[in-house]
Structure 1
């Protein structure tokens, strides 16, 4: 586990309480992304005043296991929110929509590049 410690000026993510080594400095980019997502979502879950959740390309550095955990977390813990997520990966977009629809939840896709091209082509 990771313990969040606050000295009044900053926070540290320590593997052992009271230990001076911040775990952030020994994490991979995927682990850092997972940590930032977890921390941000926890703060959002506790303090958000709105039901809209915007997430910008959260899966770019996550492995498949963390992506699966992330979609399950959003689907179960944030089911009362409208979630708008951007991604550059069609496969991930399809996976997220599949997981939501499998459990009877609504999900949609907007491809802004396709929309822009069709708008240009129709002129």
Structure 2
């Protein structure tokens, strides 16, 4: 079964993290991705740019609205995702518990209902 591990952490204010902290976090995430890959469970992983770089699209009163930045005013941001193929939720929980972001934020686990393989939708 496919699960998406969504990593959330506090919004940062510009230069609030020093270079060593950022380097350590990047190394931890790279090691985690390598561990998932070596175990044969990693389907994909993406790290997102800061939420301030997002664009939100919605329809209001039948009119398409494009807004710079995130729509929701939150103190946390979605930092990235890992998609894993594992037998069950317990296995996904095990991998999520090893994700570095549990040290500084949260990891949300969500089953994937459908996905594409080479452009074909599957369940």
TM-score (norm 2): 0.27
By relative contact order (CA 8 Å, sep 6+), the higher-ranking structure is 2
User: Which is higher, the Rg of structure 1 or of structure 2?
Assistant: 1
The structure richer in strand per residue is: 2
